[in-house]
Structure 1
Amino acid sequence: MTPIPRHSQIHFYKDGDIELLVEKIIFRVHKNILTLSSQFFSGMYQSATPSVEDLTAISNTGISIPRVELRGDAAPDVEKLLSFLYPNTYFEISWGDVANLLRLADKYIVETLTTACVAFLKRSYQEEPLQALKLAEAYQISSVYKESSKLVLDDFEKFFYEPRNLEGLSRSTQKKLKVQRQQYVEGLNKLYCVTVDRRFPPLTAEHLRTKFEECVKDICTFPFHSPSYSWMKLHQVDCSKHFECREELRRLKPFIHEKIVSFFGGEYELLAWTTKAPNYDAATELSYPFIELRDD
């Protein structure tokens, strides 16, 4: 026996003038809300006409309301979409919803929902960087792709330990991440080799040379530290309390920056959007390697 469709408990408005059927749930809504929100719904309403069964079911009211079945969607997801669109209901995007909402926003061309989902990812990508990277690639969100890649690269072993973690990432993105990680490891090896040979950096102050070599030994000993930690340690080498080191340290820092960039094979950046945080301090913020959303 075929289940009888039932009304949505949230979005079934008596004065609605179009019905959406999703998994045996009927949403009676308003065409003006849909057409103002979505190009897809606008075109859909213009072509929607009531079937004979629908007309029979509502003949006692004397009103014919077109009904359209939305296939391939889950009723709870459509309910959340409508809760986003309607001003009388409140819905807050979460990690449990953002993937489905981005899919619906893309499918039905709801630009305001896409914008809200992107804003959520920008606020929250640090909580789930791998998930954010997958969604950013799937929906071509270049800013989130770049920022989430920084955190994935910074904790590479954690994310790449389980092959199933990579499901949903294209081979292209996986390759970019692995290449960037390999460049980092090779950079550490180069740094270690030239340091133990005492050809880099050309320091005359024994205390400063010892300080620098301790730093290099720390970051180049397996298991390797994260790229952001290594970058911070190298750029914070300091012994300015020693008078004989001050001038040499002033000349050393730009030299370190130039060499490390050449060794690691790319630029490092702060995380975007952190400068707006209330406790932001540029001097203590970490810098990260990254990949970008583009065709290589």
Structure 2
Amino acid sequence: MTSTESSNLPRKSETHFYSDGDVELVAEKITFRVHRNILELSSQFFKEMFMSAKPSAEDLVVISSTGKTIPRIDLRDDSAQDFEKLLSFLYPNTFYEIGWDNVSSLLRLADKYIVESLTSACVAFLKRSYQEEPLQALKLAEFYHISSVYKESSKLVLDNFEQLFYEPKNLQGLSRTTQKKLKLQRQQYVEGLNKLYCVTVDRRFPPLTAEHLRSNFEECVKDICTFPFQPPSYAWMKLHQVDCSKHFECREELRRLKPFINEKISTFFGGEYEPLACSRNPSSASTPENFYPFIELRDD
């Protein structure tokens, strides 16, 4: 056998080549000898394939040590590295940690081979880690229809709109529909700031109270409405920090301050505002938690 012929032969996987395996899978000239029952239990794709397909003589290979004949399947569309990731997740003797460097390829494999356990593990990773890479999480959530991750990651993308949205490469992999939703939500927020700039504390508060409120409120509005505009979460936090309770602890009218501010936010900014799910910085009595606008994964 020449060196050229030898190099064209499939090589054994260093991780997933089991002597008692009863099926071989070949990806990029790497052979994985694995167990049919593990594939069937884990993957609806392989379960249906093994039930319906009968290998031809060309698809069979003889194990030299035992003389046993087992089927060999050529995986033409998958890299050996990616398929090894899938097997490492499925097999109990190996451990494969999901991270940002592999979650995209793992979701693709889970979707292609209908591996529900891997899909669930990837979704769980995105739910707890979306704050690290919100734009990447948003893209994956849209493509694989993960509505909860789509909603939460959109909050942080909107909150960092200026930094993320005006770099063309950042938009690759994001549909025009989602781009449009983000732009509209951002536009509504900016228009709301312009309206808020013209607001003064109204006469529902007593004159002396209103004077303190007006001063604090106008200072806050100047802060968040000065270009470049502050993020929506910062605007929410600052508006809800407008407080004169130190001066008027017993005045009933001060209880109307929060509804007054919420009314202005809802009227001018539109939509809903929520805190982040699984926030790493939960609010305390002295520090109100930031609230964010969001978009949702819908067809409209």
Alignment gaps of 5+ in structure 2: none
CA–CA distance in 2 between the matches of 1:51 and 1:125? Answer: 48
Q: Indicate the SS of the match to 2:33.
A: strand
- 1:266 maps to which residue? 271
- Taking the TM superposition and a 5 Å limit, the aligned residue runs for 1:72-87 are 72-87=77-92
Displacement after TM superposition at 1:246 (Å): 4.2
**Alignment match of 2:230 (pick from 193, 207, 225):** 225
TM superposition shift of 1:193: 1.9
* Cα distance change, pair 93–48 in 1 and its aligned pair in 2 (3 A): farther
Identity of aligned residues (%): 72
| TM-score normalised by structure 2 residue count | 0.91
Name the structure 1 match of 2:291: 287
Deviation at residue 54 of structure 1 after TM alignment: 4.7
Q: 1:80 to 1:203 in 2, by over 3 A?
A: farther
Structure 1 CA distance for aligned equivalents of residues 225 and 164 of structure 2: 21
What is the total number of aligned residue pairs between the two structures?
A: 290
1:235 corresponds to which letter in structure 2?
H
Query: Is residue 5–residue 24 contact of structure 1 (8 Å, CA) maintained in 2?
Result: yes
The CA deviation at 1:199 is: 5.6
Q: Structure 1 residues 218 and 113 mapped into 2: Cα distance closer, same or farther (>3 Å)?
A: same
* 1:92 equivalent in alignment to 2:97: yes
User: For the structure 1 residues 291 and 171, does the alpha-carbon distance in structure 2 shift closer, same or farther, using more than 3 Å as the test?
Assistant: same
Q: By how many angstroms is 1:202 displaced?
A: 6.3
- 1:255 Cα deviation from its structure 2 partner: 1.4
Q: Secondary structure at the match of 2:26?
A: strand
Q: Cα distance 1:245–1:180, how it changes in 2: closer, same or farther (>3 A)?
A: farther
Match of 2:150 in 1: 145
Q: Is 2:51 the partner of 1:49?
A: no
Is 1:250 the counterpart of 2:255? The answer is: yes
Shift of 1:60: 6.2
- Which structure 1 segments of 5+ residues have no match? none
Aligned to 1:214: 219
Separation in 2 of the partners of 1:79 and 1:111? 17
CA deviation profile, 1:158-205 (whole Å, cap 9, x unmatched): 11121110000100000000000000000000000233xx66886723
How large is the RMSD of aligned CA atoms in angstroms? 2.0
Could you tell me whether the CA contact under 8 Å between 1:177 and 1:291 is conserved in 2?
A: yes
Residues 1-296 of structure 1: pairs in structure 2 closer than 5 A: 1=4, 3-46=8-51, 47-49=53-55, 51-52=57-58, 54-55=60-61, 58=63, 61-195=66-200, 204=207, 205=209, 206-243=211-248, 246-274=251-279, 280-281=282-283, 283=285, 284-296=288-300
Structure-2 separation of matches of 1:150 and 1:231: 13
Return the TM-score normalized by structure 1: 0.92
Q: Deviation digits for residues 97-135 of structure 1, max 9, x if unmatched?
A: 000000000000000000000000001000000000000
Counterpart Cα distance in 2 of 1:218 and 1:143: 32
Show CA shifts across 1:245-267 (max 9, x none). Answer: 94432222211111211110111
